[in-house]
């Protein structure tokens, strides 16, 4: 039996709400969340969850019912998340920044008829428009003012009235207070963690139509236990975990919210990323754990504001969502004294699959080692059924208890992604060294085929990041009449720095082979990002394609 098989044999699947109940029993009087200065204890959270669960149950939420959450990082997200799960429902996460078309598509695809949102005009009006298309039956409306501390709650009512939505009366619109008044506790519901879908998490849709990954209670509880193993040095009941990544994203849902709950940590909620507010709250709360994405750590490293703040309370940071440049990691660790490690995951795996160990030096460029219970295998790109030898490049495939049950209503896509033996095809190319560390070189779809050779954009990006003037960069493939394809680099410089394309090319000659050198370098003041702050190639690929079409 391998160590991964032993861990899986010992793992006992739980419902996700089990972890909240246990933390309430162990740390009920400890703070659960701080939202802009207003604090709730775990016991208070538990009472609110029970009341909401009773209200949802009275509204027909039960096993098999999918409920949408279209919420920013506020206490409402966590309260409804656990209330829905407690009565056997399934959470469907929606990005509040989605446009009406995206909200409608996902609602239809996920069979969502009930949506939970805020009374903020910028969110509610879009959700209401979707309801008027007969896509939704019910909108549950959560008020902003009551979750703000004094005097912010009074000032909000006085000066932010224009930001509030006009919510119609009638049975289609249910106020938060009405749900809370139904009863103190829901009727018990039998839930099988192995089969019950806890969360329907939609992929980003960068390759075709977005698909809903069915994450069972067993999947999510496995990843919770795996993260508990990674954070084994954290002190239960004492940590303060910064929640700036949006909970609707699978990384934050697991590594911010669910990890905080299992540790009995205080969630320090930030409804959006704003640098000064982030630095202020780290200082005010003495934050100890800080999951993030590379662009946030980069912003802190490069801001002149940072020198005015004591960030020494931060102990552990886990970066995900995108490759973590070595220069960003080293600068942030020097600035704060913390340990910043890179991890790797994907929506289809709840999401964490690999993390650099916290108790030994990270390997530059590595995503770390598989989390407990996870078996990696690298497959030949020419024959994906055939494993390659240790150290050789291939597609990363993963097997573990956190791997999804499948894609919602898409059996063909599920069969294409998960093998009968349980291995999940990630679409990422990489290799594993003799010590077990995994390195990713790129996405299969991002490979640049240059004169018959595979050129990996990430290798080029890492080389570009070594130049002191570079803040961010993206490398994509462009057509080349001689080589087939060549690399093109888009570069954002740090404030106050200057650099020409020729100077950067000269610098890169010492770091890259001739075939890897970018044929073109374009400087930009901003690079495109996804809604969760990850650098995004999609827009640049589309731009280049449009240029070629116009030139023909």
- State the helix-helix crossing angle for 75-86 and 42-58, rounded to 10 degrees: 60
**Topology (CATH level 3) of domain 3-417:** Rossmann fold (3.40.50)
d(CA 226, CA 414): 24
pLDDT on residue 549: 80
pLDDT on residue 257: 99
Q: Which residues contact 194 (CB under 8 A, 6 or more apart)?
A: 13, 216, 217, 218
**Pick from 202, 33, 50: which is nearest to 112 by CA?**
202
Structure tokens at 524: 């930009």
Domain ranges of the chain: 3-417, 447-551
pLDDT on residue 162: 85
Q: Which residues contact 509 (CB under 8 A, 6 or more apart)?
A: 517
Give the H/E segment covering residue 252. Answer: helix 250-252
pLDDT on residue 151: 86
| CATH topology identical between 3-417 and 447-551 | no
**Pick from 160, 168, 159, 113: which is nearest to 141 by CA?**
168
Which of the residues in the chain have pLDDT under 50? 205-207
d(CA 289, CA 268): 10
d(CA 148, CA 160): 13
**Topology (CATH level 3) of domain 447-551:** GMP Synthetase; Chain A, domain 3 (3.30.300)
pLDDT on residue 205: 46
pLDDT tens string 358-412: 988 888 889 999 999 999 999 999 999 999 999 999 999 999 999 999 999 999 9
Q: How many CB atoms lie within 10 A of CB 472?
A: 24
d(CA 83, CA 71): 15
Tokens 């701080």, located at residue: 34
d(CA 529, CA 173): 34
Give, in degrees to the nearest 5, the angle at Cα 137 between 136 and 141.
85
Structure tokens at 206: 């960068």
pLDDT on residue 302: 94
Q: Which pTM value belongs to this model?
A: 0.88
Give the H/E segment covering residue 378. Answer: strand 375-380
d(CA 200, CA 213): 6
> Is 349:400 a contact under the CB 8 Å cutoff?
yes
Q: How far is CA 399 from the centre of its chain?
A: 20
pLDDT on residue 322: 79
> Is 156:145 a contact under the CB 8 Å cutoff?
yes
pLDDT on residue 545: 87
Could you give the count of Cα atoms lying within 13 Å of 401 in the half-sphere of its Cβ?
28
pLDDT on residue 158: 66
**Pick from 530, 344, 541: which is nearest to 426 by CA?**
344
């Amino acid at each position: 039996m391998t160590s991964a098989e032993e861990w899986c044999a010992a793992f006992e699947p739980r419902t996700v709400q089990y972890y909240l109940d246990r933390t309430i029993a162990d740390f009920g009087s400890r703070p659960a969340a701080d939202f802009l200065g207003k604090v709730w204890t775990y016991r208070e959270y538990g009472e609110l969850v029970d009341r909401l669960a009773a209200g949802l149950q009275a509204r027909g939420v039960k096993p098999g019912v999918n409920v949408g959450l279209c919420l920013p990082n506020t206490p409402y997200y966590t309260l409804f998340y656990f209330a829905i799960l407690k009565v056997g429902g399934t959470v469907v996460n929606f990005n509040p920044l989605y446009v009406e078309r995206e909200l409608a598509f996902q609602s239809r695809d996920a069979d969502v008829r009930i949506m939970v949102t805020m009374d903020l005009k910028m969110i509610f009006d879009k959700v209401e428009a979707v309801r008027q298309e007969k896509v939704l039956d019910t909108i549950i409306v959560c008020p902003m003012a009551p979750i703000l501390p004094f005097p912010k709650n009074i000032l909000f009512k006085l000066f932010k009235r224009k930001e509030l939505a006009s919510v119609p009366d009638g049975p289609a619109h249910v106020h938060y207070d009405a749900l809370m008044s139904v009863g103190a506790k829901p009727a018990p519901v039998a839930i099988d963690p192995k089969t019950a879908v806890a969360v329907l998490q939609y992929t980003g849709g960068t390759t075709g139509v977005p698909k809903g990954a069915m994450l069972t209670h067993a999947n999510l509880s496995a990843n919770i236990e795996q993260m508990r193993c990674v954070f084994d040095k954290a002190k239960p009941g004492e940590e303060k975990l910064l929640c700036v990544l949006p909970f609707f994203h699978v990384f934050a849902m697991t590594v911010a919210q669910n990890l905080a709950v299992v540790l009995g940590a205080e969630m320090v909620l930030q409804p959006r990323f704003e640098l000064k507010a982030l630095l202020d709250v780290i200082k005010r709360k003495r934050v100890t754990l800080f999951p993030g994405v590379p662009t946030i750590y980069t912003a802190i490293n490069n801001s002149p504001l940072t020198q005015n703040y004591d960030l020494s309370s931060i102990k552990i940071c886990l970066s995900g969502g995108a490759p973590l440049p070595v220069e960003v990691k080293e600068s942030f660790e020097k600035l704060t004294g913390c340990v910043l490690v890179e991890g790797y995951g994907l929506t289809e795996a709840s999401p964490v699959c690999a993390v650099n160990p916290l108790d030994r030096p990270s390997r530059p460029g590595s995503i770390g080692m598989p989390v407990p219970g996870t078996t990696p295998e690298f497959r030949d790109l020419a024959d994906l059924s055939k494993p390659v030898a240790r150290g050789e490049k291939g597609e990363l495939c993963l097997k573990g208890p956190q791997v999804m049950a499948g894609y919602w209503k898409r059996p063909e896509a599920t069969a294409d992604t998960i093998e009968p033996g349980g291995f999940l095809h990630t679409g990422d190319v990489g290799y594993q060294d003799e010590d077990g560390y995994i390195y990713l070189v790129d996405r299969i779809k991002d490979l640049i085929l240059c004169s018959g050779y595979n050129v990996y954009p990430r290798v080029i990006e890492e080389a570009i990041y070594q130049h002191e003037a570079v803040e961010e960069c993206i490398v994509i493939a462009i057509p080349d009449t001689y080589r087939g394809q060549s690399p093109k680099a888009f570069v954002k410089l740090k404030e106050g720095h200057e650099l020409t394309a020729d100077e950067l090319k000269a610098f890169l000659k010492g770091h890259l082979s001739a075939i890897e050198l970018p044929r073109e370098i374009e400087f930009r003041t901003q690079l495109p990002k996804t809604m969760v702050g990850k650098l995004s190639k999609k827009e640049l690929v589309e731009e280049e394609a449009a240029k070629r079409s116009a030139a023909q």
